[in-house]
Amino acid sequence: MRVVHEPGGIDLAAAEEAAGLFLEALGVSTASESLRDTRGRMARAYAELFSPRPFDLTTFPNDEGYDELVLARRIPVRSVCEHHLLPFVGTAHVGYLPGGRIPGLSQLARVVEHFACRPQVQERLTKQVADWLRTHLEPEGVAVVIEAEHTCMTLRGVQATGSSTMTSSLLGLLRSDAHSRSEFLALTGVTS
């Protein structure tokens, strides 16, 4: 299955023009040599942040009947807060209890990237990853924990430097079975 995010078309020329107007409206002159190309760099940077790489969902039969927890820890997360368009960065822990098929391990990181590459809120991102994996892998359980630092909170407003936000979504047996849930949380370093 080919997974592609359709961003609706990126117009870099229009984005560059808008970035120039934005900087000008904030009183930032782009006349100096070091700022002359900032508009274009800004447009390309946001285009990259909003463009996940397409991937093929690769799964394999669970021929051995493996039924224990599979956990990918510390998957890098980078996204942009949809309220201020400032970055948030952190890590995701993604676990599942296999059903009939198992994914290639890199697929877990690709799914996180797929949903992170758009203006986002962390709560939705966490749920989207978990729901997508439940739908496409049909596992016995899925769990996703994301911990991230939001620059909209650390660099502006309250300026709560060093703070982080943690969200979780636990589905199936990783929600309903206390032993499985505890194992996942212990292996991620999150206390239950």
Residues acting as catalytic residues: 81-84, 122, 150, 152
Which of 106, 93, 86, 108 has its CA nearest to residue 147? 93
Which of 94, 102, 111, 95 has its CA nearest to residue 64? 102
- Stated as kind and residue range, the H or E segment containing 166 is strand 165-172
Contact, 99 vs 135, CB < 8 A? no
Contact, 120 vs 80, CB < 8 A? yes
Contact, 82 vs 120, CB < 8 A? yes
Contact, 53 vs 77, CB < 8 A? no
The encoded tokens of residue 81 equal 């807060």
Which of 139, 134, 130, 132 has its CA nearest to residue 169? 130
DSSP 3-state assignment of 61?
strand
Q: Which residue has the tokens 């051995």?
A: 64
Which of 6, 2, 15 has its CA nearest to residue 118? 6
